[in-house]
Structure 1
Amino acid sequence: MAANVTQFEKEKELGNALFKQGLYREAVDSYDQLITAQPQNPVGYSNKAMALIKLAEYTHAIQTCQEGLRYALGPEHAAIRSKLQYRLKLSQTEAGSIEIPVIEVDELPAGYDRS
C-alpha cells in the first residue's frame, strides 16, 4: 500500500507540474495514473476534471466529476467535494453553451421515419 501512496504522490506532483506548464493533455494522462493507483481517492478525479475543463472537454469533465463525487462522501473529503461540485457545475454550464450546428437535409437516410 505504501508503494501506491508513493506512486500517487509522484504522479500528482507530475500532473500538477504539467498542468502549470499548460500541458493539459499530459496532465490528464498523469491524473489517470493517480486514479489507477488509488481509484477511490477523489483527488485524482478532481485534478483530472480541471485539466479536462482547460481542454474544453466538458462532457468528459462532467463524467469525471460525477465519478469523483462517488468517493468524496466523508467529512474528510469536504474540501475536495466542494471542488468537484464547482467543477461539475462549471462543466455543465459550459457543455450547455456549446452550439450544435443544425443541418437541414432534403432526404433522410433509409430506415428513418419520413412522416
Structure 2
Amino acid sequence: MGKVQAPSDFCHREGNEAARTVSSASLSRAWAVIAARKACAATNKTESFNRFSPWIGFGNRGVIADNDPVEQEKAMKFNALLTNAVIFHNALDIAEVVRQLLEVGWTVEPEDLSHISPT
C-alpha cells in the first residue's frame, strides 16, 4: 500500500504552493508597475521635448511653407538639432549652478535635482 499523508502534510504542501502562486502574481504585478513607470517616464520626456521644440522653432510660427519633402525634412531635423543643443546647454548651466552651490557649502539632494528639467 501507498504512504498515507497526514492532513497537516497536505495543508503544508498546498499552502507552500499557494504562497508561490501569490508571490509569483505579486512579482508579476510589481514588474508591470515598474514597466509602466519606465514607459511613462519615457513618454513624459518625449512630450516635454515635443512641447519645447516649437517654442525654440523660428520663422512662420513653425509652419513649413515649402512643399518639397526634402526641404521639410531638413527644416524638421534642423529644429530638432537646435532644440537638442538648447537642452544640452541648459543641462550644462544647471550642472554649473549645482557645482557653485556645492562649492559654497549648500547641500544638494538628488531629490531636489529630480524636479529640475533642462526643457
Structure of higher CA gyration radius: 2
Query: What is the TM-score with the length of structure 1 in the denominator?
Result: 0.27
Of Structure 1 and Structure 2, the greater helix share is in: 2
Query: What is the TM-score with the length of structure 2 in the denominator?
Result: 0.26
